[in-house]
A and B are shown apart, each in its own frame.
Chain A
């Protein structure tokens, strides 16, 4: 309902909009862009697209500037990065997360934004400026911000969890979901162990990986977007996910509840950036500025349900999530950490460790069980390097061996029979 009221507001607001904005770029330069094309690459479901009477942001931009928007989406930062690195594509605007922005700056994939073309940058409060991933505010304009938390189904969980260790609770075996991407999964494990998300010590990453392996005792399902389907259907008791998405899920399943675990959570800032080699840089800047128009930012905030870093949005009493406790919790209430770009060696290590975690099969009655939560934390315990043949692998080897032997025996049998018949 709120959305509908809001969309009426936009309609009114748009009538007066053109006279408000003042660009450094000449009006004639902007007019010259009519008929050109702008390529935007963003997360899926990450812009108000006109569904449910919301504002269709891309269409509104096209109408205002006469610039055609080609809009494509990706599932996660790494997919976006691989696609851009792989070449063969060319976009103007991308909206990656903090650590990826930092990595792309380091690898010279972004170009500085001309902030004189983004007058609406004034709506971004100081606390979202000068963050570690873009310390001089040259390359990115915050688009959404948010935090990760623990979603749980009150009908399935007896006691409301307040800690990430709930995801290791064997009472909820088979009904725990987990992030299917290494960075977020490791962050949970690192929170429990009290580590820095961005620490550069290989040993500590190995320890965090051991904890993730131990989680296999509760056989978690590793999910991406399926988390919506599974949590809404009451298929799983607990899942770590983004606070904004929890609000979407809760609309469909009121039994769901949310908590920011006490060990601390990841805080992220997704920012709009202009790619190096962008063919339509001025249009890209117009687009980024357009995203910060109060009406557009409000429409996006209503649609995406993530927290907005836009002062005119979160101070607007008509906004559905105005002073929402989950999206805009009191500052300093719990520990938050930003992801930063990691050293390439640590990134490579994280990938291999994640492969190990995914392939790890807990042996039943395993001795390293309760290795972390058990009484005596013997730190000299052997850390499995993932190269040993697990019992499961041996079992498969045995099956394949038997199968091959049967096939071989059959071939030999036929051959022998043929020879025998020829001799008759």
Chain B
């Protein structure tokens, strides 16, 4: 009986299994294969050793990713909390407003930021009208981070909000009954309880920020590379799949390490994991 049901469940799962082997495992194998071979297909470590010169690019990407993630967290946490405190109808509208920009193409939205930020752009011409000298914003690091924050903010708000919306309000009341002031309630009650949302939000923002390439090209003016730009160039321009694959492999390993570290934050945190 049990073996039959397990067979049945295997059958049910098989399309997903095939799917993930085809589209997740196979590409990963290709990435590994390409990173350790040269153009003729012979085994080599050359692609890995060639990476040392991209260390500054890796560092820059990671730092930009961290900055964008921190800013997203600072904006998203209070916003998610505010949304979760509203009535259901208002909540639905506000969530939709958060999601609204995502209905448009990511490329178009980034391109429009170019029109907003440039020296003769909308923001600067408005500033000019009220007598403020134009500020040089486009092609700077700040513009790239702004682009990241703007594009990935919903990925931070949504998981935090969905945890907070289900948050047991009696816990907050209990905390208040025990004499906690507002700060204590947030610090000892709300933050620990919404930790799973925060952690998944951080991963969902950090991973795309580190590997992004379009934002830095458009808003950064291409004057500095992020690691995603280098990878894209290997595949599109240089036709050097091997170097591109090894860069992606290292990036993947870095991301996996940082996710493992992130998960320690929730896993070990017993007092936080009340739910």
Contacts and interface: CB of A to CB of B under 8 A. Distances in A.
Interface of A: 76, 78-79, 81-82, 85, 174-175, 180-182, 216, 219-223, 226, 229-230, 233-235, 347-348, 351-352, 354-356, 358-359, 361, 386-387, 389-390, 392-393, 396-397, 399-400, 403, 407, 411, 414-415, 418
Given A78-B236, A79-B237, A411-B264, A222 B222 contact: yes
What 5 A-B pairs have minimum CB-CB distances, sorted nearest first? A221-B221, A222-B222, A393-B56, A351-B238, A396-B59
Interface stretch (B114-122, B148-156, B175-183): B114-122
Interface residues of B, number: 45
B239 A85 contact: yes
The B contact surface, by secondary structure, is helix
A78 B221 contact: no
Given A351-B240, A403-B66, 20 more contacts: A79-B237, A82-B235, A82-B239, A180-B217, A219-B223, A220-B221, A223-B222, A233-B120, A347-B238, A348-B240, A355-B233, A358-B224, A358-B225, A359-B57, A361-B224, A386-B53, A393-B59, A399-B63, A400-B62, A407-B261
Contact of A400 (B63, B229, B270): B63
Contact of B238 (A78, A175, A222): A78
B114 A226 contact: yes
B230 interface: yes
A221 B139 contact: yes
Contacts of B229: 358
B223 A220 contact: yes
Given A78-B238, A226-B114, A358 B62 contact: no
A85 B218 CA distance: 27
Interface of B: 50, 52-57, 59-60, 62-63, 66, 114-115, 118-121, 136, 138-139, 217-218, 221-225, 229-230, 233-240, 261, 264-265, 268-271
B240 A393 contact: no
B80 to A, nearest CB: 22
Contact of B239 (A78, A220, A226, A354): A78
A402 to B, nearest CB: 10
Contacts of A361: 56, 224
Contacts of A352: 50
Given A180-B222, A221-B223, A222-B222, A82 B236 contact: yes
Given A359-B56, A392-B60, A222 B223 contact: yes
A396 B224 contact: no
A79 B268 CA distance: 47
Which of A359, A389, A400 has its CB near the most chain B CB atoms (within 10 A)? A359
